[in-house]
Amino acid sequence: MPQHPLVADPLAGKRLVLGITGGIAAYKSVELARLLFKAQAASVQAVMTDAATRFIGAATFQAITNQPVFTDAWDTRIANGMAHIDLSREADGILIAPASADFLALLAQGRASDLLSTLCLARDCPLAVAPAMNRQMWAHPATQRNRSQLIADGVAVFGPGTGEQACGEVGDGRMLEPEELLDDLRGWFAPKLLAGKRALVTAGPTFEAIDPVRGLTNRSSGKMGYAVARALSEAGAEVTLVSGPTALAAPRGVRRIGIESAVQMRDAVHAHLPTELFVAVAAVADWRPAQVSVKKIRKIESNSPPELRFVDNPDILAEVAALPNAPYCVGFAAETDDTNNDQRDQALINLASAKRIRKGVPLLVANFGPDTFGSDDNALILVDRAGSIALPHASKDALARTLVAEIAQRMSV
């Protein structure tokens, strides 16, 4: 069976200039630089304003990035004396994090008063900013005018977030957390293969109540479905995620609808149709108790365990696939391994092929459930009418990006 090459992390191999301006949030940028290296960015070049060095030392960024830190427009380490030109020409993108209110004003007005602002004005690559300031400074009309002007000029604005601030006040203006900025950067660099498309994803387990305190569920963590939703958002799709109970945070830029039971999931899915794409990753219970006790079923030693009678749950994927003008539908199948190693993959392909035909969908993604429940990695087999393709063992994020690329290719045909 052919192995499909994986789609790389959008940050892999990227050369970034990380601009740091004056603000207490500068400490977060150290962690962001570390995360960028973990994502295999080719290089991170720190450029600091004088005010930034009052909050954190240049030596800290030099240690994290393994690159000299630039703070002065007259730095003689660049032979031609043009740091503001050379640094941007070598970069795939510039991120200013934190971006103070003063620096946003400089950018909006096209001023070049220090190395970082001059570099941004002379840049030959995309620019993004992560604002960080007091809530009143962020809400000020001048700051909002500057924000609007920057967006009109093609600058990406990441955040800000909401929460407790260093001054003790609470509100808008916090710089996004490093992990959030990393997700935004991935979306910034990722090819927009599904730009303008609406996608609906289901993820996680369902919970079928027996009584007010007990229920039937499964071991799905939701990680694969959330990775698919994240990859779809990176690819430019407008994503709605219908999720069973999980401990996962909603991916950046994704609207999440929380549900518990299969019937609730079905209702939520139909409420958010039509879409161009439906990806059913959730591990939906096939059955539910015919009756749900309104009170806790108590254990009494003299009585035998209660007998439960089950009824079928709706087949959400098959229902959506059968709709007039149905979206492009992708299903998932989690199976168990009941064969020897030589026959393992073929048995999975056979089960997935039958399920694909039964559900009436063009693409079905198969995996071995016990191998992946709760794990951060997986291995997948894509099954369609032309045959099957294996995606090798990798992180669920890498697999999701590769799956989304395959889906985009099929939808464009």
Catalytic residues: 167
Q: How far apart are the first and last CA of the chain?
A: 23
Picking from 97, 78, 105, the residue whose alpha carbon sits closest to that of residue 30 is 97
Other beta carbons within 10 angstroms of residue 379's beta carbon come to 16
Distance from chain centroid for Cα 167 = 31
Distances (CA, A) of 309 to 261, 283, 291, 298: 17, 21, 8, 18
Cα–Cα distance between 225 and 243 in angstroms, integer? 9
Could you write out the DSSP letters of every residue in 56-69?
Answer: S-HHHHHHHHSS--
Residue with tokens 């990406």: 156
Are 229 and 252 in contact by the 8 Å Cβ rule? The answer is no
Task: Give alpha helix (H) positions in 74-218.
Answer: 83-89, 101-109, 115-121, 135-139, 141-152, 178-189
User: What secondary structure letter does DSSP report for 111?
Assistant: -
Beta-strand ranges (E) seen in 290-399 are 310-312, 328-335, 363-368, 377-384, 387-395
